[in-house]
């Protein structure tokens, strides 16, 4: 991948940016840093820095919730997937996101927000004790700096392409920009920047999608070009089910099972309901009602944004000569990760090019800031305060948080080069999610609905689940399983989930559970129903603000889109 990046920096493939493009980029950076400086004024405690003092309205946290996810995973990874696999990539949104976001808003947030925990690992501390808490704190911190490296690598690739700087210099400069505003204003700076970045990203992707469709002759023209380029596999690329090209599973029934269970349940629910980089945005809302609405509000743009991210990838695979040749097996010095950059290069004029570059940088900065802001919270509260320096003044932990923010950016510089070795970063990201999120979701699900689950089971289940996912990955890399595409990550996640559940049940049956009195508010059956009800008074009044109404609406829209692109 590093070779591909350097080839892209050559004169014949460089983005031909004009002064107006650099002016737009400069204005964006001034606004980003200005938001960080303004947010700093409201940071007087560690809770302000890490959770915005729990003061933000639902519409702000809802857009930030989605924008935090609109990083390299979406822009590079999903356009790469669109170019490589086509329509089956939609499963990452309509099967692999929306149901889990609805579950988070309706079921999980009352426990997170109601218990007033400051992080997801802290919820594990209250439910299971220190062993599970430490295991999750360490694994989550590791996962976030690895994923931050993905966003940083993608961001640096854009800088490399625009300015021709060496990759290492681009990585360092990009990390300094993110560090500047996250260390200034903490989560509030990150959240308000993410709201702005959401609109910048849409302003980039909408015209790119429409211009691209016009260039290929509309949707019918795109279908015709894909069919002509790949007559043998066109049907797999143009129909979402059974998605065998995406899973790498040759049997249609097993492929559907892999998508529904591996992606739609284990990976998706594991990511959206337990990933603190996302949940942190909902935790910063001003009320329980706002916290519950956060993922439900975010689900609406998430449903439609799939169209303006995946379709451009499909367009790039037939419109960009180098990428079309690469898809046919030729070595052209590019990879699927370059799909969005190559499409921007070929389709957009100056001025619009500046908006596109700004949109890319906004996406990667939003993603990396989400990783870094969640990393500094977990490291400070769940590792440093809990196990290293207890009972210090609040100002001490505020200082630690700012130092750890810099540390996270520094480590991300190193992990960025790990991401550079993957031709499709979605393969890398799904592998990480299988390692870290899938077993965590199993532990949460069992612990939340089965009061008999014990503290020791919580920790051992996490370890066993992670180990099983790693084992599947190693077996596949050594050609024992021979799973192509992203099927290996689906199988690894499924194995992690099943093994975690099995180990947790067995250990629970031979160890002592916590008393019921200690589980109130942490287990469904022991939590008073009034804690789970929607507050419909004051600014939360109105039928359109009810979580159930919001959830039903987005599920209907998602079902309709699944039928249309069947």
pLDDT, one tens digit per residue, over 463-480 is: 999 999 999 888 888 877
CB 382 within 8 A of CB 289: no
Token reading at 33: 């840093």
The predicted structure's pLDDT at residue 462? 92
The predicted structure's pLDDT at residue 3? 37
The dihedral formed by the CA atoms of 62, 91, 428 and 337, expressed in degrees to the nearest 10:
-90
Of the two residues 560 and 356, the one the predictor is more confident about is: 560
CB 364 within 8 A of CB 71: yes
* Band (266; pLDDT cuts 50, 70, 90): confident
Q: Which helix or strand (DSSP H or E) is residue 281 part of? A: helix 276-283
The predicted structure's pLDDT at residue 162? 64
Token reading at 248: 């790498």
Per residue in 132-164, pLDDT (tens digit) is 989 888 888 888 888 888 777 777 777 776 667
Write down the H helix ranges in 90-166.
91-94, 98-103, 109-114, 120-128, 130-163
CB 268 within 8 A of CB 99: yes
CB 146 within 8 A of CB 432: yes
How does 446-477 read in b/e, with b if 16+ C-beta sit within 10 Å? Answer: bbbebbebbbbbbbbbbbbbbbbbbebbebbe
CB 270 within 8 A of CB 465: no
CB 186 within 8 A of CB 43: yes
Lowest-confidence region among 9-18, 80-89, 312-321, 357-366: 9-18
Could you give the CA distance from residue 98 to residue 299 in angstroms, rounded to a whole number?
A: 6
Could you give the CA distance from residue 473 to residue 500 in angstroms, rounded to a whole number?
A: 16
Q: How many residues does the chain have?
A: 566
The predicted structure's pLDDT at residue 461? 93
* Band (173; pLDDT cuts 50, 70, 90): confident
* Band (9; pLDDT cuts 50, 70, 90): very low
- pLDDT over threshold 50, residue 2: no
SS3 56: strand
Domain ranges of the chain: 19-37+58-389+397-565
Could you give the CA distance from residue 141 to residue 151 in angstroms, rounded to a whole number?
A: 16
Other C-beta atoms within 10 Å of 558: how many?
Answer: 22
Dmax over Cα atoms in the chain, in whole Å? 69
Name the average pLDDT for the chain. Answer: 81
Please report, for residues 24, 157, 173, 240, the alpha-carbon distance to residue 361 in angstroms, rounded to integers and kept in the order given.
Answer: 12, 10, 12, 30
- Residues 114-126, mean pLDDT to the nearest whole number: 81
Lowest-confidence region among 2-11, 14-23, 162-171: 2-11
- pLDDT over threshold 50, residue 274: yes
CB 451 within 8 A of CB 516: yes
Beta bridge partners of 56: 285
| C-alpha angle 323-329-335 in degrees, rounded to nearest 5 | 40
- Residues 215-229, mean pLDDT to the nearest whole number: 89
Could you give the CA distance from residue 510 to residue 457 in angstroms, rounded to a whole number?
A: 10
Token reading at 478: 């050594």
The predicted structure's pLDDT at residue 466? 92
* Band (4; pLDDT cuts 50, 70, 90): very low
The pTM for the full model equals 0.79
- pLDDT over threshold 50, residue 309: yes
Could you give the CA distance from residue 293 to residue 525 in angstroms, rounded to a whole number?
A: 23
- Residues 362-378, mean pLDDT to the nearest whole number: 76
Please report, for residues 355, 509, 560, the alpha-carbon distance to residue 350 in angstroms, rounded to integers and kept in the order given.
Answer: 9, 66, 37
On the 0-12 / 13-18 / 19+ scale of CB atoms within 10 A, 224 is middle
Of the two residues 172 and 299, the one the predictor is more confident about is: 299
Backbone phi, psi, residue 71, to 5°? -105, -145
Domain 19-37+58-389+397-565 has CATH 2.30.30.60: no
Backbone phi, psi, residue 56, to 5°? -95, 145
Other C-beta atoms within 10 Å of 5: how many?
Answer: 23
The predicted structure's pLDDT at residue 438? 83
- Residues 421-441, mean pLDDT to the nearest whole number: 75
CA 91, 565, 545, 60 torsion: positive or negative? positive
The predicted structure's pLDDT at residue 533? 67
Could you give the CA distance from residue 485 to residue 462 in angstroms, rounded to a whole number?
A: 26
- pLDDT over threshold 70, residue 73: no
């Amino acid at each position: 991948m590093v070779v591909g990046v350097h080839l892209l920096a050559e004169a014949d493939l460089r983005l031909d940016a004009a002064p107006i493009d650099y002016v737009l980029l400069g204005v964006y950076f001034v606004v980003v840093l200005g938001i960080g400086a303004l947010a700093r004024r409201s940071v007087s405690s560690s809770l302000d820095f890490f959770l915005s003092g729990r003061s933000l309205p639902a519409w702000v946290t809802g857009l930030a919730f989605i924008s935090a996810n609109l990083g390299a995973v979406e822009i590079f990874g999903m356009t790469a997937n669109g170019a490589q696999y086509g329509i089956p990539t939609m499963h990452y949104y309509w099967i692999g996101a929306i149901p889990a976001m609805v579950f988070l808003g309706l079921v999980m947030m009352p426990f997170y927000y109601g218990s007033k925990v400051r992080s997801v690992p802290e919820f594990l501390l209250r439910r299971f004790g220190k062993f599970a808490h430490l295991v999750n704190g360490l694994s989550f911190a590791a996962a976030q700096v690895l994923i931050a490296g993905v966003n940083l690598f993608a961001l640096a690739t854009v800088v490399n392409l625009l300015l021709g700087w060496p990759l290492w210099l681009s990585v360092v400069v990009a990390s300094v920009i993110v560090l500047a505003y996250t260390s200034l204003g903490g989560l509030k700076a990150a959240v308000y920047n993410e709201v702005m970045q959401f609109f910048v990203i849409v302003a980039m992707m909408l015209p790119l999608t429409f211009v691209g469709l016009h260039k290929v002759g509309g949707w019918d023209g795109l279908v015709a070009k894909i069919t002509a380029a790949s007559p043998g596999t066109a049907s797999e690329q143009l129909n979402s089910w059974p998605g065998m090209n995406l899973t790498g599973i040759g049997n249609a029934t097993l492929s559907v099972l892999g998508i529904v269970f591996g992606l739609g349940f284990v990976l998706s629910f594991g990511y959206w309901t337990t990933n603190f980089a996302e949940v942190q945005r909902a935790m910063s809302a001003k009320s329980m009602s706002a916290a519950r609405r956060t993922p439900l509000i975010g689900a609406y743009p998430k449903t439609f944004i799939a169209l303006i991210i995946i379709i451009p990838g499909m367009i790039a695979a037939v419109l960009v000569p180098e990428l079309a040749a690469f898809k046919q097996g030729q070595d052209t010095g590019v990879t699927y990760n370059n799909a969005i950059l190559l499409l921007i290069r070929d389709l957009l004029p100056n001025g619009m090019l500046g908006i596109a570059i700004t949109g890319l940088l906004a996406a990667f900065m939003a993603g990396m800031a989400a990783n870094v802001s969640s990393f500094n919270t977990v490291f400070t509260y769940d590792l440093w305060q809990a196990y290293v320096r207890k009972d210090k003044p609040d100002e001490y932990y505020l200082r630690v948080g700012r130092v750890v923010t810099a540390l996270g950016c520094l480590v991300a510089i190193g992990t960025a080069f790990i991401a550079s070795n993957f031709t499709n970063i979605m393969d890398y990201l799904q592998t990480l999610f299988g390692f870290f999120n899938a077993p965590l979701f199993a532990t949460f699900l069992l612990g939340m609905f089965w009061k008999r689950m014990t503290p020791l089971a919580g920790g051992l289940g996490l370890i066993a689940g992670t180990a099983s996912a790693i084992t599947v990955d190693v077996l596949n890399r050594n050609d024992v399983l021979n799973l192509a595409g992203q099927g290996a990550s689906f199988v690894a996640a499924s194995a992690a989930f099943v093994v975690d559940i099995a180990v947790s049940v067995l250990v629970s049956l031979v160890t002592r559970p916590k008393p019921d009195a200690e589980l109130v508010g942490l287990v469904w059956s022991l939590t008073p129903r009034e804690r789970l009800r929607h507050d419909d008074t004051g600014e939360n009044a109105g039928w359109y603000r009810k979580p159930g109404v919001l959830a039903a609406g987005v599920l209907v829209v998602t079902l309709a889109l699944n039928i249309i692109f069947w």
